[in-house]
Amino acid sequence: MKFTDGHLFPLSMDVFEFVLYKTNQGKYNLWTLPQCEMINASIYFRLFKRTEALLQYRDGARFCNKLYDNLKRSVGRVGLFKRGPECPVEKRLITKERHFLILQIFDVFCRNPFGGLKALQMLWRSIPDPFITMDELTSVFTKQQNTRFIEKICNFIEEITGKEVAEERRCQPRKLKHNCRILIRRALSNNFQLSTGIAELNLPLSLAVFSGLNISVFY
């Protein structure tokens, strides 16, 4: 079997989880091979259960230029986003990484908000990126969008992050506790120990659950 995202995703869920388990057990670096970053790709293809499985073995998602280009094409057809010279990335108002995160949220919001909510919650618990601000959000949409539409997007973001969309122009860094979670997960992931290592650290239960991205625990 060729370990690429195109070959892994069509597998049944049981087989998919078995492949993740065996490759991790054998310390086989599955993450350098796919053409697209697999965690973000699973969300793009609406394979949300696979997102949850991947985050048991990988500390967090990484930015992927190929998926970014795909998202720009797919959501661009809707006609709600600024494009070309008006794109906030071109005007250097936001980075392409931040732009990708906003497009990803919008894509799930439009296509399957209920099915994708947990996957996005887990993803945002796995990355160090600051939460989306109102200035960033409004910078990507065309001026024709009404306040009710923006309000719905903000409510969805709040469901994902557990925080209201801030009005501040500058992004606020995430909490120290969250950054510690990122470092713990990354160290375990780099040593192929993430799936079992959190339980072996003898952390207090609340911290162990927090580090495991449990959605019942606040950020």
Which stretches within 11-133 are classed as H helix?
13-25, 38-44, 48-54, 65-76, 96-111, 113-126
- Model pLDDT, residue 218: 47
What are the C-alpha distances in Å from 145 to residues 72, 85, 157, 191?
18, 19, 17, 46
Residue 154 has pLDDT above 50, yes or no: yes
Residue 104 has pLDDT above 80, yes or no: yes
Q: Note the Cα 51 to chain centre separation in Å.
A: 9
Please enumerate, as own/partner, the contacts of 157-160 that have beta carbons within 8 Å and a separation of 24 or more. 157/105, 157/131, 157/132, 159/117, 159/121, 160/105, 160/117, 160/120, 160/121, 160/124
Rounded distance between C-alpha atoms, residue 92 and residue 53, angstroms = 35
Q: Average of pLDDT values for 172-196? A: 91
Q: Average of pLDDT values for 38-53? A: 95
Q: Is there a contact between 108 and 43 (Cβ–Cβ < 8 Å)?
A: yes
pLDDT digits (tens, 9 = 90+) for 83-98: 877 788 888 889 999 9
Rounded distance between C-alpha atoms, residue 159 and residue 117, angstroms = 8
Burial class of residue 99 (count of CB atoms within 10 Å of its CB; 0-12, 13-18, 19+): buried
Residue 2 has pLDDT above 90, yes or no: no
For the entire predicted model, the pTM comes to 0.89
Task: Give the pLDDT band (50/70/90) at residue 129.
Answer: very high
Tell me the average pLDDT of the chain. 87
138 vs 125, residue with greater confidence: 125
Query: Of 115, 105, 113, whose CA–CA distance to 136 is shortest?
Result: 105
